């Protein structure tokens, strides 16, 4: 599928950070956005921006072109219901971006509370698995689809004081390569390192030094172009924006 063909793009963790700017960029190009996040308030703000950026011809249909739901990827039941909803609404995604993620506060592993470790693993790994469990069968049924699992440079290297996050992103790399061997022709799953971008998550690790890195708004056009042009030939790849 080339980028000129309008698609439905699903983004988890869509209400903030890279998910938000990617959604806005994709909508600007005429594609439909479906997604979920844990903040109802931020989702409402994003929906207002998405519909404002829609094509002029979408006066009455703009509100139905995109679909955002207040859901947590850590809940398997919620992801099951989300998949069912998208089938009912005829919005089965062409591309899924598993973007929802969190990071631990900088700390040595023995000082990271168990609850914080669980939050990282449950969101970054189990959340991605919940999406795969309920959405891959839909893509397999229609014999096409791309899954983009957001990884990190720290999914291919290591750093002190972010061991839980590194572990989760190394897991995403391995999960993606393993699932790639299970997919039938026509589908692809990739691990995508977005690069270093000045988001709230980066600021939690780098502090004021995060200001030295690219802004999400300058990252989004390149990211959108790359994601929209992925094909089944990319299956199993570890890519970087």
pLDDT at residue 201, as a whole number:
75
> 134 near 80, Cβ under 8 Å?
yes
pLDDT at residue 4, as a whole number:
67
> 234 near 186, Cβ under 8 Å?
no
pLDDT at residue 59, as a whole number:
45
Q: Which residues of the chain have pLDDT under 70?
A: 1-4, 53-63, 202, 212-213
Q: Which residue of the set 165, 166, 198, 226 is catalytic?
A: 165
Q: Please report, for residues 99, 151, 166, 177, 219, the alpha-carbon distance to residue 182 in angstroms, rounded to integers and kept in the order given.
A: 22, 20, 25, 9, 31
pLDDT at residue 79, as a whole number:
98
- For residue 187, the SS3 value is strand
pLDDT at residue 58, as a whole number:
44
Tell me the whole-structure pTM to 2 decimals: 0.92
pLDDT at residue 62, as a whole number:
44
Residue 213 is a catalytic residue: no
């Amino acid at each position: 599928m080339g980028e000129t063909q309008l698609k439905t793009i699903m983004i988890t963790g869509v209400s903030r950070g890279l998910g938000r700017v990617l959604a806005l960029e994709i909508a600007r190009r005429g594609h439909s956005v479906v997604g979920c996040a844990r903040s109802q308030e931020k989702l409402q703000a994003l929906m207002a921006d998405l519909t404002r950026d829609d094509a002029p011809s979408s006066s009455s249909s703009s509100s139905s072109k995109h679909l955002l739901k207040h859901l947590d990827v850590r809940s398997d039941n919620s992801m099951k219901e989300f998949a069912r909803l998208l089938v009912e609404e005829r919005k089965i995604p062409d591309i899924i971006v598993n973007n929802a993620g969190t990071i631990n506060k900088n700390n040595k592993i023995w000082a990271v509370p168990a609850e914080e470790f669980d939050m990282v693993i449950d969101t970054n790994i189990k959340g991605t698995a919940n999406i795969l469990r309920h959405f891959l069968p839909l893509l397999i049924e229609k014999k096409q689809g791309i899954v983009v699992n957001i990884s990190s440079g720290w999914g291919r290297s290591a750093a002190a004081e972010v061991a839980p996050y590194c572990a989760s992103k190394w897991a995403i790399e391995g999960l993606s390569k393993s699932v790639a061997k299970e997919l039938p022709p026509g589908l692809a799953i990739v691990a995508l390192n977005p690069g270093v971008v000045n988001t709230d998550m980066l600021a939690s690790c780098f502090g004021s030094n995060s200001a030295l890195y690219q802004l999400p708004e300058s990252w989004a056009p390149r990211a959108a172009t790359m994601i929209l042009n992925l094909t089944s030939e990319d299956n199993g790849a570890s890519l970087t924006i």
